[in-house]
């Protein structure tokens, strides 16, 4: 069965309404994943570091659940798991055996873990300003939230994030490539190469540049770049 997955990162920015929850949730044909609230507990360096760590841990756990559910579904129907604020992955319903098995299998992600996902590279530049100018041409856009229907017929996995303002796709971002002493403009985070290649075809027309698909390590710091709202300045 081809798995269509939606992962929703609900990140409340510092200026957002305090009541907004910040969590990660996943839905697919075989998986339903959600996390506890991971809002920053303050504005100090320690709080920011803890917030980044919680985001990275939740996304790594979600990726492990997706990979496992996609490769070998635990049973008929949807396995439903929940990641609490202590980092424990638990079945949403303890009476459901597939959910219990998936929680046991994927509940070992390290708190300091990071993901390696697929990304579209829009180009490489000697100057950061040039990379940012190209990245700014690819903007995130609003999409239906996790409680609304979404067209996933041509998508293996979709990564979304939202807060009180709604849900949107990952933003473009800039990373420094040390091995080549250059700045890379990249966009999107994808669980499968196929999805990245499809979006790369669209973005190459937007930027008038060839787009190549690359592997991107994702930690809490990068997620803060990626989780920009469509209306935020680049």
Q: Is residue 11 part of a domain?
A: yes
State the average pLDDT over residues 63-78.
80
198 in a structural domain = no
Measured CA to CA, the distance from residue 171 to residue 173 in angstroms comes to 6
More confident residue, 223 or 157: 223
Residues whose CB is less than 8 angstroms from the CB of residue 212 and which lie 6 or more positions away in sequence, other chains included: 120, 121, 200
Reported as a single tens digit per residue, the pLDDT across 88-132 is: 999 999 999 989 999 999 987 777 778 899 999 999 999 999 999
Name, in order, each residue with C-beta under 8 angstroms of 150's C-beta and a sequence gap of 6 or more.
6, 143, 144, 158
User: What angle do the packed helices 45-71 and 97-106 form, to 10 degrees?
Assistant: 130
Name which residue leads in pLDDT, 222 or 153.
222
According to the model, what pLDDT value does residue 10 have?
Answer: 38
Query: What is the predicted pLDDT for the residue at 161?
Result: 73
What was the pLDDT predicted at 2? 45
Q: pLDDT at residue 59 above 90?
A: no
Question: What does the pLDDT average to over 34-57?
Answer: 79
Is the predicted pLDDT of residue 82 greater than 90, yes or no? yes
Q: Which domain holds residue 62?
A: 5-106
Domain count across the chain = 1
User: Token pair of 143, please?
Assistant: 């999409």
Q: What is the pLDDT of residue 191?
A: 87
pLDDT value at 183 more than 90:
yes
Q: Is residue 41 part of a domain?
A: yes
For residue 50, tell me if it sits in a domain: yes
Residue 217 has pLDDT above 90, yes or no: yes
Q: Over 50: is that where the pLDDT of 9 sits?
A: no
In a domain, 136, yes or no: no
pLDDT band at 7 (very low <50, low <70, confident <90, very high): very low
For residue range 148-159, what is the model confidence (pLDDT) as tens digits? Answer: 555 667 777 787
In a domain, 120, yes or no: no
Q: Work out the pLDDT band at 234, boundaries 50, 70, 90.
A: low
Q: Tell me, yes or no, whether 224 lies in a domain.
A: no
Q: Mean pLDDT across the chain, nearest whole number?
A: 80
Can you give the pLDDT at residue 223?
Answer: 85
The neighbour count for residue 36, using CB atoms within 10 Å, is 17
HEC readout, the chain = CCCCEEEEEECCCCCCCCCCCCEEEEEECCEEEEECCCCCCCCCHHHHHHHHHHHHHHHHHHHHHHHHHHHCCCCCCCEEEEECCCCCEEECCCCCHHHHHHHHHHCCCCCCCCEEEEEEEEEEECCHHHHHHHHCCCCCCEECCCCCCCCCCCCCEEEEEEECCEEECCCEEEEEEHHHCEEEEEEEEECCHHHHHHHHHHHHHHHCCCCEEEEEEECHHHHHHHCCCCCCCC
Q: How many CB atoms lie within 10 A of CB 132?
A: 16
> Considering the domain boundaries, does residue 118 fall inside one?
no
């Amino acid at each position: 069965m081809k798995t269509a997955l939606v992962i929703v990162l609900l990140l409340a920015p510092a200026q957002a309404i305090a009541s907004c929850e910040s969590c990660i949730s996943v839905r697919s044909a075989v998986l339903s994943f959600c996390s506890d609230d991971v809002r920053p507990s303050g504005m100090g360096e320690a709080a920011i570091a803890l917030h980044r760590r919680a985001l990275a841990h939740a996304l790594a756990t979600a990726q492990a659940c997706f990979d496992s559910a996609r490769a070998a579904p635990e049973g008929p129907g949807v396995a439903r798991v929940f990641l609490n604020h202590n980092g424990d992955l638990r079945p949403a319903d303890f009476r459901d055996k597939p959910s219990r098995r998936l929680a046991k299998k994927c509940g070992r992600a390290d708190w300091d873990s990071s993901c390696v996902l697929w990304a579209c590279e829009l180009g490489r530049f000697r100057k950061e300003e040039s990379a940012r100018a190209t990245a700014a041409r690819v903007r995130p856009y609003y999409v239906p939230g996790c409680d609304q229907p979404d067209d996933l017929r041509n998508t293996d996995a979709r990564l979304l994030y939202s807060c009180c303002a709604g849900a949107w796709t990952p933003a473009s971002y800039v990373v420094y490539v040390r091995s080549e002493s250059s700045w890379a403009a990249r966009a999107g985070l994808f669980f499968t190469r196929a999805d990245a290649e499809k979006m790369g075809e669209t973005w190459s027309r937007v930027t008038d540049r060839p787009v190549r698909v690359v592997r991107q390590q994702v930690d809490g710091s990068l997620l803060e770049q990626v989780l920009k709202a469509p209306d935020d300045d680049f």
